[in-house]
Each structure stands twice: as structure tokens, then as C-alpha cells.
Amino acid sequence: MASSEAALSVQELIKKPVSSVPERYIVKLDHNHEPSPVQDETIPTINLKNLIHGEATLELQKLDSACRDWGFFQLVDHGISQLVLETLKDEIEGFFRLPLEEKMKYKIRAGDVEGYGAVIISEDQKLDWGDRFFMITNPLSRRKPYLLPELPSSLRSILELYIAELQNVAMTIVGVLLGKVLKIEKREWEVFEDGMQSVRMTYYPPCPQPDLVMGLTAHSDATGITFLNQVNGVHGLQIKKHGIWIPVNVSSNALVVNIGDILEIMSNGLYKSVEHRATVNSEKERISLAVFFAPKFESEIGPSVSPTNPPLYKKIQMEKYVEDFFTRKLNGKSYLEHMKIK
Ligand SMILES: O=C(O)CCC(=O)C(=O)O
Ligand SMILES: [Fe+2]
């Protein structure tokens, strides 16, 4: 196997028993070894059914404070059936079990960020302990013909069903947050309808020295709102609160939802796009599926402001924003910093 291929797949790397982690994956981490009073805290739970039907006002207040204080919540009663979630799990597990040659058909091509594998910018770059598959799924015109359309058909159909259902859930939540709570005019947030949608599937193999590596480097999501499905129920996600990394424990079948940079911008800083990262463990593989929603490429993104609420962020064309973002490496919240009016 050529060295560039070895770098593409941690799953391949650990097929031969390894007792120590190769240098390229070793990173200095601020694991919180000291007990901290906030470590017992956990992200709020929001019930989608209640948000729509039941005690909507109470649930709406909970959602509003979750997005202000945490930037994260777990969503239950989201309406996505057990059957869909189980089929999705089987299909994604099956995909990562395919031989490397099969997965390499989808490998990231030079200069691109979509496809299977790691985005390698330099030879001395540290690598995450995880194999990723990232692709844009909407608008249809942006789908790379050799990615989603070429996936095994059973995986493709369940993914398409899942992302179509999530699109509705995302629209409901964006409508509640920006429309009902923040009273932003519909024309400003309906840009999420038929907007940019992308998907990242990640396979994190068990690691002999999990404290030396990172499954996914700390970052905030550049998009609007993200739905994370812990496909095989293994935990590993951590979020940064008051400078401390807090592990996120999710109930089974709940989806983790988080505010991305664009919703932080549109809410003029009221809702927080919080840094998060994925850790790995020595026993169990972990699989996650993140679906990202953002405004249409033709729209302009910027904060909704009033005379008493002056803008804290710049305005930018969505097309330009995506282009700028994809040319940078994931690095904390650096891109959002660049959008701030100083
Ligand atoms: O796998 C995870 O838990 C986190 C994934 C994530 O944050 C991302 O794909 O942006
Ligand atoms: Fe993320």
C-alpha cells in the first residue's frame, strides 16, 4: 500500500496489530484530568413533538436557552423512525467494512474536500484518528457524480430518505428559533429551504493509546445547524464550555443538534456556535453521521439587526463563504473570528 493510501485509512492501519500509535497521529491534548464541577452537566433535551404540538411555549423557551447557553441540545421525539435509524446503521457499518479498494473509488481528489479519506494539506500535518467521507448533497447540481450517485444503492436510498426527513426537522427548528423566538422575517431565514446540505460519515477505530490522539480536531461547524447521529451508540463527542471539555452523553435514538457559525452570525451572536471534538477509546469502534444545513448558495448571510442591536458580524455571499471556508483547515473557531466586526 502506498504511504498516501495508508494515511487515508486508520481502519487499514490497525488491521496489523499496533501497540503504539504512529507519530503522525500523536497530538498534545488538554484532556481534563482534574475533576471539574461542570463535568457532570449535560446538554439540554428538547422534545420536537412538544415543540410543535404540546406545551409549545415551555419547549420553545427551553430551546432558546439551550441555544444561548450551550449551542447544543439532544433532540428526542424527532419523528425519524426506528426502522430508518436501524437501516442507516446497518448500511453505514457495511460501507466502512467494504475493502479499501472499494472505498478508494470515492477518495478525495486533488484540490478537493469531498469524498473518502483525509484532506492532506502538507506532509507534516497531524492526522485525526478517524476515516471520513464528506459530500455535498444539496443542491442536486452540486452533487459530485462519483460520490452519492455511485454509493451502494441500499446505502444511497436510506441516506436520501434520512436527509430528506432531517431537512424538514431542520426547517422546523430554524423557523422556531429565527421566526418565532427572534421574530426575524421569514424571507431572511427561508434561505435554508432547498439550501446547502452536506453529510459527513466518520469511522473512528479503537486506538491502543486513545489519550494521545484525536478522532476529530476541535472545531465549530461553519454551517447553520448540524444534526449528529451516533450511529452505533458509542460516545466520544466533547464540547467546550467555560474553557473545559465536557463529554456529551446522548440517549439512544436521540440526535445531537448544534448551532453552527452561520446561525451564530444570523442571530447576531445570541446563539452560540460552540467548539467540539471527537475523542476515541481503546475498545470500541465509533461511527457517526453528521448532516449539515446552511442557506442557499445564492443568498447573502449576515446578522439580523435593529437600531438597538447593531451588527457584530460582517455580511457575506454564501457562495464566497463556502469557497473561503473550504480553503482553510479545521481550526477552532478561526473563520468565525474573521467574520466579526472588530
Ligand atoms: O463524530 C462526532 O462526534 C463529531 C462529528 C463532527 O463534529 C463533525 O462532523 O463536524
Ligand atoms: Fe462538527
Single out the residue of 259, 279, 278 nearest to residue 336, CA to CA.
259
Closest ligand, as measured to the CA of 133: 1
More reliable by pLDDT, 306 or 267: 267
Does residue 289 carry a pLDDT above 60?
yes
Ranges assigned E (strand) in 16-123: 45-47, 72-76, 115-116
Cα–Cα dist 58/266, whole Å? 23
Does residue 74 carry a pLDDT above 70?
yes
Single out the residue of 181, 228, 226, 222 nearest to residue 63, CA to CA.
181
SS3 126: coil
How would residue 320 be classed by pLDDT, with cut points 50, 70 and 90? Answer: very high
In the chain, what percentage of residues exceed pLDDT 70? 92
Q: What is the mean pLDDT of residues 184-205?
A: 96
How would residue 40 be classed by pLDDT, with cut points 50, 70 and 90? Answer: low
Q: Helix, strand, coil % (nearest 5) of the chain?
A: 35, 20, 40
Q: How many CA atoms lie within 13 A of 271 on its CB side?
A: 29
pTM (global) more than 0.90? yes
Does residue 122 carry a pLDDT above 80?
no
Give the pLDDT of residue 37: 46
How would residue 2 be classed by pLDDT, with cut points 50, 70 and 90? Answer: very low
Contacts of 111 (CB under 8 A, 6+ apart): none
Minimum-distance ligand 1 atom for the alpha carbon of 226: 10
Give the pLDDT of residue 325: 80
Give the pLDDT of residue 239: 95
Cα 190 to averaged position of ligand 2 atoms, centre (Å): 23
Does residue 124 carry a pLDDT above 90?
no
Q: What is the mean pLDDT of residues 107-135?
A: 89
Peptide bond into 139 cis (omega under 30): yes
Instruction: Name the residue at shortest CA distance from atom 2 of ligand 1.
Output: 278
How would residue 33 be classed by pLDDT, with cut points 50, 70 and 90? Answer: very low
Which of 231, 237, 286 is the best mutation target for the ligand 1 pocket, counting ligand atoms within 8 Å of the beta carbon and taking the most? Answer: 237
Cα–Cα dist 248/40, whole Å? 10
What confidence tens digit (pLDDT) does each residue in 136-190 have? 999 999 999 999 999 999 999 999 999 999 999 999 999 999 999 999 999 999 9
Cα–Cα dist 78/169, whole Å? 7
Does residue 31 carry a pLDDT above 70?
no
Give the pLDDT of residue 235: 95
Q: Does the C-beta of 268 come closer than 6 Å to ligand 1? A: no
Does residue 56 carry a pLDDT above 90?
no
More reliable by pLDDT, 122 or 216: 216
Least confident window among 23-32, 51-60, 189-198, 218-227? 23-32
Single out the residue of 148, 159, 151 nearest to residue 114, CA to CA.
148
Instruction: With residue 200 as reference, give the H or E element that holds it.
Output: strand 196-204
Give the pLDDT of residue 7: 61
Does residue 329 carry a pLDDT above 70?
no
Give the pLDDT of residue 18: 80
Q: How many CA atoms lie within 13 A of 23 on its CB side?
A: 3
Residues constituting the chain: 342
Q: What is the mean pLDDT of residues 239-260?
A: 93
Q: How many CA atoms lie within 13 A of 13 on its CB side?
A: 28
How high is the ipTM of this complex?
Answer: 0.99
Note whether 198 and 137 are within 8 A (CB). yes
Give the pLDDT of residue 25: 92
User: What residues are paired with 75 via a beta bridge?
Assistant: 46, 255
Cα–Cα dist 63/46, whole Å? 6
Minimum-distance ligand 1 atom for the alpha carbon of 258: 7
Distances (CA, A) of 268 to 256, 309, 314: 23, 8, 10
Instruction: Name the residue at shortest CA distance from atom 1 of ligand 1.
Output: 288
How would residue 32 be classed by pLDDT, with cut points 50, 70 and 90? Answer: low
Least confident window among 108-122, 139-153, 248-262? 108-122
